Amino acid sequence: MPIFIFTMSQLTEIDLNSWSRKEHFNFFNEFAQPYFNVCVSLNMEPLFQYCKSHSISFSSAYVHALGQAINDYEPMRMRIKDNKPVICETVEQSIVTLADDETFRFVTLSTEMTLEDFDKMLKIQKSVVHNEALFSERVTTNEKRLDVSHVSILPWLNFSAFSHATNFGKSTGIPKCVFGRYNAETGLTPLSIDVHHALMDGLHVANFVDKLQKKLDEIRVND
C-alpha cells in the first residue's frame, strides 16, 4: 500500500497596509458568503485527442494542467489565515473521486511532476482511498490545510451555472473548481470556478482562465 506523505507549504503573510486590496479585503472578508462564481468553456479537443492517442486519462490531464496553472498564478494561491491574507508557496489538488458504490472520496496530490507520473499516482491513490472511510484520519488532517485547491469532476453534466453547498463559517479563500462533461462535437468542457472576493476580482479569474487554457494547449505542443 502506498504511503501518503504530505508536506505543508510555506505561508507568507501579505502586508495588508501596503497591499492595494486592503479596502477590498476588509470589505468582502466580512461577508457571510464572500465567494463568487463564474462558469467558462475551455477548448479541450486537442487535449482529448492527445490523451486518447497516448493512453492517458483525460481527467488526469486537465486536473494536472489546472494545478500547474494555479501554482503559476499568485492570486490563486492566496488564502486567509487568522483573518489575514497569506500566500501559499505551492498548492496541491484535493480531488473528489467516485468509488464503486457511487459515493465520493478525496485524493490530495501535487502536480509538481510529469503528467505521466501524475496519472499513475492518481490511479494508485484512488485504489487506496476508495477502500477508506470518507473522513479517515488522512482526510481529517488534510481538511486543516490551506495549501490546496478543491477540484471536482462531473462528466455527466454540461452545465452553464453552478453553486456549492456552503458552510457559513469563516472562509479560508480556498478556490473550488468543477469540470463538466466534454462535448465531442464542440471540443468544449465547462469549468466552474469559485474564488473569495476578498482575494480576487473578475479580472484575476479571467487572467487565470487564460493561463489555464495555455497550459492545456502546451500539453500537445510539448509532445
Per-10-residue mean pLDDT, the chain, length 223: 49 94 96 95 96 96 98 97 95 94 93 95 92 77 86 95 82 96 97 98 98 92 57
Do 78 and 211 contact (CB within 8 A), yes or no?
A: no
Q: Model-level pTM?
A: 0.92
Q: What is the pLDDT at residue 131?
A: 86
**Cα 38 to Cα 34: distance, rounded to the nearest angstrom:** 14
**Cα 136 to Cα 4: distance, rounded to the nearest angstrom:** 13
Domain edges within the chain: 35-221
Q: What is the pLDDT at residue 144?
A: 79
Q: What class does CATH assign to 35-221?
A: alpha beta
**Cα 204 to Cα 215: distance, rounded to the nearest angstrom:** 17
Q: What is the pLDDT at residue 157?
A: 95
Q: What is the pLDDT at residue 219?
A: 82
